[in-house]
Amino acid sequence: MRKAVLLTMLLLGGCLEHQGIRPLRPLEIATAPYRPISTAALPGSLMYESGCLIFRDEQSGALMTPVVPTGSSFNGTALTFHLPGKADQLVAVHEEVLFYGEPLQWAALQGPPYDAIQHQCGAYGPFLVTGVRPAN
C-alpha cells in the first residue's frame, strides 16, 4: 500500500511538472525582451493583489497583467522599469502613470516563463509595456 501511494505521488508530480505550472515566487512579474511597438497609451496605476502585479486602466477600468522588459523587477512597493539604453525608472504602486505598449493575448506568451503567471494571474490579459511616464 505504501509503495502504491508513493508511486501515485511520483506520477502526479510528474504530470504537474510536465505542465509547467508552479506557484509564483514572491514578487515575480512577467518580463519579455524589449519590443519598441506601441499601439496604446493607457493612464492608470499598478496594484499588487493575490500575488499578481496588475495594471488598472483608468479610462476603462480594465485590469491587465503588465509584461515589462527583461531586467525589470518588483520589490513589493515599486516596479523598477528597465528600458535598454536608458536609466531604470521607479514606478510606485498606486502612482498614476501612463503605460505605452500593446495589449496581447496569453496565447502570444506561451512557455515556461509565463505558465505560472498565466495560471495565477490569467484572468487579467497581458499588456506588453514599452514605456512608462508619470500621468500628470
**Terminal CA-CA length for the chain:** 66
pTM of the model: 0.81
pLDDT in tens, the chain (136 residues): 555 444 444 444 444 444 556 777 879 999 999 999 899 999 999 999 999 999 999 999 999 999 999 999 999 999 999 999 999 999 999 999 999 999 999 999 988 889 999 999 999 999 999 999 998 7
Nine-digit cell string for 98: 501612463
C-alpha dihedral sign at 62, 65, 66, 67: negative
Nine-digit cell string for 119: 495560471
Distance of CA 54 to the CA centre of its chain: 8
Which amino acid, residue 88?
A: D
Are 53 and 79 in contact by the 8 Å Cβ rule? The answer is yes
